[in-house]
Structure 1
Amino acid sequence: MLPLVLSALLLASSPATPPADWSTPFERSSGNTTATYAQCIAYYQRLDKAYKEITVREVGETDSGRPLHEVVISTGGGKADPATARRQGHRVVLIQNGIHPGEPEGIDASMMLARDLVQKPALRQLLRNTTVVLIPIYNVGGALNRNSTTRVNQNGPESYGFRGNARNLDLNRDYVKQDSRNARAFAELFQRWQPDVFLDNHTSNGADYQYTMTLIPTQKDKLHPVLSQYLTAQLLPALYQGMDQKQWPLTPYVDFLGRTPDARGLVGFLETPRYSTGYAALFNTIGFVTETHMLKAFAPRVWATYDFMTVLLQAIQTQDAALAQARTAAAQQMTAQQEFPLAWKLDTTRAETFTFRGYLGHLKPSEVSGQPRLYYNQQEPYTKPIPFYNSFRATTTVRRPAAYLIPQAWGEVVERLRRAGVQLQRLRQDTTLTAEFYHIDDYKTSSRPYEGHYLHSQVQVTAQPQTVHFLRGDYVAQLNQPAARYLVEMLEPQATDSFFAWGFFDSILQQKEHFSDYVFEDLAAELLRQQPELRQRLEKLKKENAEFASNGQAQLEWVYRNSPHYEAAYLRYPIARWQGRALLVD
């Protein structure tokens, strides 16, 4: 009997199993350490095993050869898929971290947020009507390329990743062209979840000022008007107020016109679809980019990012119905929208006033060059109203067609359309159609490569009906679908980030056939004899232009370009704008 009693007493006095240590590498350090890729993924996998509310999945490849992960946080564990989340009426918030792994605040803040959403009752309630989807580290290759020197202007952490990915691409310029496997995986993830709100965490470069965090919301004039009204009247005020309460006052992203922010004022950021939030806006998703200030210490930058995410989730929970209503209205109204903007310009005649907290900037001689250099004096803080130019107007618009006809030869374009959720049909049989085609009249091309492409800009086109033979299997993209705006901005060549602008159609810019002048001379003469009106036009040009009149080769070229022998497809944009009858499609 005694041994049993003794054993019971020994068991009762044995120390309890210590609680699991859920601290992150950031928390275990002096506040100047960011998690490695391996540490980050392992931490989420531990959470997945411990909590039914957290699901970690591989969702695609990256250029590094390592997978892209998503972390889904939802109460009950049964809403870890998009269909269930939508059926339950949940708002979906997609948070992306580490697109530039040298700007890692979101990586560490999101690890703590995921843990606290399931461990802290006050935060757990934020999941009542919201599903959170995290991309732990988007630029995996950049995260693996760890160093302590490339962020030369940044105050910590001790080591971090590199801006370029495994192919040295800046992934925040790759959302439409999708040169990287990362961007292709993101597009599929984005369309699967169709988030209501998207957040991309960053660190700023630029001026010195008092704020720890700056914010880029989707440019209000680029959002659908219903969403723009909701963003500016409800969501943004709640975010600014919430961050004020947490002692992290916000400012618009500090991009400015003069030498210093207070010289001529701040300028809103125009995020075209190459950028994450510009891409999201094509699908009526409200986007935010946090930009913590590079000169502040790493720890407050991380905590400001953490607090912003909690404030955002709180605002979305409070405004759940308003957000849902705005997105539904925008989707419905887009089905009837006839005019779509393609390019934008800052309106410098309109400015808001923002009370900005900065430091005075001065000039002093450079110790390197002896020339005047700028510096900010932190002993001279100021708070004063300055202009904020945040209105953009459309400079190019287009009327929507009923459909686009896309020859199957342009497979790279079709692949990207499919990843964007575009509903495509295919012609059942070879068909000759008269449709509207663009002739590329002029364009400018960058003299240096930009993210692997020589970008085209200032594209000028002439629209004209042409009769063209399409093949069985060519694609038809109707515009009465949710991806209508995406289709317009990708397939209209004048759009800033269209597939034409990125060089996907460059082969049409090169002539494939020409003539031998000594042979064509006789044929040209016969053409002029058979077509007196052509001869009259030629003679008129010679009278009007002495240089042309003295250039026999130019005259021969003119006859060739106005003859049946000239290439019909040269400089003809191959995608047709269709307004006609219904087509036989599968």
Structure 2
Amino acid sequence: MFSFLLTALLLTAPAAKDDWRTPFEKGNGNTTATYAECLAYYQRLDAAYPEITMRAAGTTDVGQPLYEVVVSLDGDADPASVRAKNRRVVFIQNGIHPGEPEGIDASMALVRDYVQQKELRRQLADVTLVVIPVYNVDGMLTRNSTTRANQNGPEQYGFRGNARNLDLNRDYLKQDSRNARSFAQLFRKWQPDVFVDTHTSDGADYQYTMTLIATQRDKLHPALSVYMQQSLLPALYGGMAQRKTVMTPYVDFEGRTPDARGLVGFLETPRYATGYTTLFNTIGFITETHMLKAYAPRVKAQYDFLDLMVRTVHAQAATLARARTAAEAELLTQTTFPLSWQLDTTQVEKISFRGYAGEMRPSEVSGQPRLFYNRTKPYTRQINYYNTFKPVVSVEKPVAYLIPQAWEEVLDRLRLSGVQLRRLTRDTVLTADTYYITDYKTGSRPYEGHYVHSGVELRTEQQPRPFRAGDFVAYLDQPAARYLVEALEPQATDSFFAWGFFDGILQQKEYFSDYVFEDVAAELLRKDPALRARLEKLKAQNAVFAQSAAAQLDWVYRQSPYYEKSHLRYPVARWQGGRLPVE
């Protein structure tokens, strides 16, 4: 097993020329590999062991390749071939936040051990291991000792932002970075059964070295949710406890301290790693080692968890395969899809939590009361855990989405995520469900490079619309169906509309001069008594409207043929009819 004692390492290490210790193991317990050291170590493993394949899998914003490392007993590193052999795929991603590097160091040792130790090799009989050594290459190259102000080591580490100062763990659906676009292609090639993203926590102080975010159970397909809750999670929590690293769910809470009001489950929407992977029926985990624990125990905790994950998937391979097969089959017939979720505070369970007493004392900075966690007062007590979410907005899926070819940025991202797209072979007019955006809210400040929309309200019309030869059709009878719904339905939390990809429709391109349109509007009202009646009713109901000549003139304009139909019209249409003329 992985050891952090130099003496134990020397007892088991080969001769000096075959010294396979990682850079972390050669250090003082408080150092992490540089990017060059990490690559060199994997390259050396790749050269020495045919079971290991290291290769570039795309590029990153800093211009360096994104690498993948594949560990397969027969050397098979072809995703299609591996799936044809009915192997489970465990996909580990490290260094999305390179200031949180435990997974980087742990995975180097894990890959080595899984080819060098007979007992571990047996776990790969029906499992293929895929590792991204460093996802945010950009941030790892920005090495420093200060930006993780709350963290206890290592001595130097990388930076959270990438070369474009993006937090890559908010970029999975919008895919502004090359890193995210490369990941999407790699992820869809492998179609892993389980995905693990390694992190270090922020927040409260408590006794645990490791906390865990599992895919939110209500968002996961029921077949996979049952498997995860009844089989996978108990094995992982139990195994970590046996290794003397007791875990707890991620410490996210709303009170002053975790025990004040209890923990709240983390709702990962598709902007996050495990929110995105869930759209494709992959069970996701984010490991969060505690920032205030010493670095060496944090690396060990990551190693133990990753090792347990491979062992558990090996032991439960058949059960996992059945659950995933059921989920994928049922996805094709699923008709209703949730778009946004809300915590159900009426549903609560009790968990045992090991914390420290939160107390107040005067601040030496401000003189005001400040919170501190008193480590001389540890406790173990039952606290509330809220981890039930209910859908608040859902949608019935269409037969297909019709996507005009003009929206290339969106189409590119659909392709990267494995969406099967067809193209219309001729110009045609199609009567389809068409959304109009009737209201929305926009953040007052940019978030990850966008002004994000929320609170979207819609009006739906059945409307004949012209589509051109070459416009795209995305049928929903495909494995990417759930991704398509959450990406293209405007009300979804992380839809392309929410991220501003369709903002061009929110601005009018034509308008009127009031002194000219006054006469036109008067003529419209004379010819259409029903329109006049509607205007008078609005004036009677709304005193502010009744006093505003401009508002009344604008209202008449919007009811007239002069008002452009494309204003606030969502360009993606929902097709509910039969098959279309596509290539």
State the TM bucket, normalised to the shorter chain: over 0.9
Matches of 1:553 and 1:27, distance apart in 2: 73
Amino acid at match of 2:364: E
Equivalent positions of 1:37-76 (< 5 A) are: 37-76=35-74
Equivalent positions of 1:74-473 (< 5 A) are: 74-77=72-75, 79-473=76-470
**Higher Rg:** 1
List gaps (5 residues or longer) in structure 1.
Answer: 1-15
| DSSP 3-state at the match of 1:398 | strand
Q: What's the TM-score once normalised by structure 2's chain length?
A: 0.97
Equivalent positions of 1:494-509 (< 5 A) are: 494-509=491-506
Tell me the alpha carbon deviations over residues 159-197 of structure 1, each in whole angstroms, 9 at most, x when there is no partner.
000000011000000000001000000000000000000
Q: Are the structure 2 counterparts of residues 385 and 502 from structure 1 closer, same or farther at C-alpha, using a change threshold of 3 Å?
A: same
What's the CA shift for 1:87? 1.4
What's the CA shift for 1:540? 2.6
Amino acid at match of 1:497: D
Amino acid at match of 1:353: K
Tell me the alpha carbon deviations over residues 500-521 of structure 1, each in whole angstroms, 9 at most, x when there is no partner.
0000000100011001111112
Amino acid at match of 2:99: G
Q: 1:30 aligns with which of 25, 28, 51?
A: 28
Residue number in structure 2 paired with 1:487: 484
Does residue 525 (structure 1) correspond to residue 518 (structure 2)? The answer is: no
What's the CA shift for 1:532? 2.0
Residue number in structure 2 paired with 1:540: 537
Tell me the alpha carbon deviations over residues 533-555 of structure 1, each in whole angstroms, 9 at most, x when there is no partner.
21222223233333323322222
| DSSP 3-state at the match of 2:381 | strand
What's the CA shift for 1:405? 0.3
Matches of 1:547 and 1:220, distance apart in 2: 48
Tell me the alpha carbon deviations over residues 321-366 of structure 1, each in whole angstroms, 9 at most, x when there is no partner.
0000000000111111111000001111111111111111100111
Matches of 1:500 and 1:452, distance apart in 2: 14
Matches of 2:102 and 2:249, distance apart in 1: 19
Matches of 2:408 and 2:447, distance apart in 1: 23
| DSSP 3-state at the match of 1:255 | coil
Q: How many residues align?
A: 570
Tell me the alpha carbon deviations over residues 176-230 of structure 1, each in whole angstroms, 9 at most, x when there is no partner.
0001000000000000000000000000001111110000000000100110000
Amino acid at match of 1:60: G
Matches of 1:456 and 1:115, distance apart in 2: 46
Matches of 2:82 and 2:506, distance apart in 1: 47
Q: What's the TM-score once normalised by structure 1's chain length?
A: 0.96
Tell me the alpha carbon deviations over residues 284-322 of structure 1, each in whole angstroms, 9 at most, x when there is no partner.
000000000000000000011001111111110110000
| DSSP 3-state at the match of 2:54 | strand
What's the CA shift for 1:19? 4.5
Residue number in structure 2 paired with 1:7: none
Matches of 1:533 and 1:484, distance apart in 2: 44
Tell me the alpha carbon deviations over residues 432-468 of structure 1, each in whole angstroms, 9 at most, x when there is no partner.
1111011101100000000000000011111121111
Matches of 2:559 and 2:394, distance apart in 1: 31
What's the CA shift for 1:256? 1.1
Does residue 510 (structure 1) correspond to residue 514 (structure 2)? The answer is: no
List gaps (5 residues or longer) in structure 2.
Answer: 1-13
| DSSP 3-state at the match of 2:474 | strand
Tell me the alpha carbon deviations over residues 101-127 of structure 1, each in whole angstroms, 9 at most, x when there is no partner.
000000000000011000111111111
Task: Give every structure 1 segment of 4 or more consecutive aligned residues whose post-TM-superposition deviation is greater than 4 Å.
Answer: 16-19
What's the CA shift for 1:18? 4.8
Matches of 1:226 and 1:535, distance apart in 2: 57
What's the CA shift for 1:523? 1.4
Matches of 2:569 and 2:483, distance apart in 1: 22
Matches of 1:478 and 1:184, distance apart in 2: 22
Larger deviation, residues 63-72 vs 514-523: 514-523
- RMSD across aligned C-alpha pairs, in angstroms? 1.0
Residue number in structure 2 paired with 1:6: none
Matches of 1:468 and 1:92, distance apart in 2: 44
Percent identity reads 67
Amino acid at match of 1:518: Y
Larger deviation, residues 526-535 vs 232-241: 526-535
Matches of 1:151 and 1:166, distance apart in 2: 18
Matches of 1:360 and 1:156, distance apart in 2: 24
| DSSP 3-state at the match of 2:519 | helix
What's the CA shift for 1:267? 0.6
Residue number in structure 2 paired with 1:567: 564
Matches of 1:356 and 1:19, distance apart in 2: 47
Matches of 1:193 and 1:352, distance apart in 2: 36
Amino acid at match of 1:373: R
Tell me the alpha carbon deviations over residues 396-421 of structure 1, each in whole angstroms, 9 at most, x when there is no partner.
00011111000001001100110111
